[in-house]
Amino acid sequence: MAKKKLNKNWLHDHINDPYVKLAQKEGYRARAAYKLKEIDEGDKLIRPGQVIVDLGATPGSWSQYVRNKLAGKDGGGIHGTIIGLDMLPMEPIADVHFILGDFREARVLRQLEALLDGRKADLVLSDMAPNLSGIPSADAARMEHIIDLAVEFAQLHMKPSGALLVKCFNGVGYSQIVEKFKKEFVSVSSKKPKASRDKSSEIFLLGRALKNPVV
């Protein structure tokens, strides 16, 4: 009964959410686009000409936002490269290269390297999150593992001067994740955009400039 009530409350909040309504109006696949938009507008992350990789891209709202930022004013094509990766399929987005699969697999990395064509990413985005069990210690370990993967990816495929933005949760294990970021990046800051629900412990970490890039 409690679960049913919880689902009903969530549905009510979702239907009445201004960001959900805005996403429907502006053609974004998810309200998450406005989290990235707010962070980008505050930190000037996305600029024409960049190579941007979106980890865990499905359903694609972050890639949609990036595509809109890199699009020419005339609406024809983009100035830059967007590569989305996910283990789940994604409906195509104009000018976004999508690779289906796990980015730790050789097949996926070969496709990625072909698209990068010797270049490194200016910006790596990760809205990835694990399936949560409700057990804080287990969930913290899963989240930390996903963030470790994003950091390793950035070390291998991002310019030393680039930036990595990841989603995490402010709770058990959060301080350890921040410490890890501080070991790997010259500048580290946390972001809680308005589009991130107040009830949610979701928070975003932004790391700029790698201390130990893999050459």
Catalytic machinery residues:
167
Per the structure block, which two tokens stand in for 11?
A: 């549905």
Q: Is residue 62 marked as binding?
A: yes
Instruction: For residues 177 and 100, give the distance between their C-alpha atoms in angstroms, rounded to a whole number.
Output: 27
| 3 state DSSP class of 22 | helix
Q: Is residue 60 marked as binding?
A: yes
Q: Is residue 127 marked as binding?
A: yes
Query: Phi, psi at residue 197, to the nearest 5°?
Result: -55, 140
For residue 24, the tally of other CB atoms under 10 A from its CB is 11
Angle between helices 18-26 and 33-43 (to 10 degrees): 90
| 3 state DSSP class of 122 | strand
| 3 state DSSP class of 66 | helix
Q: Is residue 86 marked as binding?
A: yes
For residue 77, the tally of other CB atoms under 10 A from its CB is 11
Instruction: For residues 188 and 12, give the distance between their C-alpha atoms in angstroms, rounded to a whole number.
Output: 36
Residue positions in the annotated binding site for S-adenosyl-L-methionine? Answer: 60, 62, 86, 102, 127
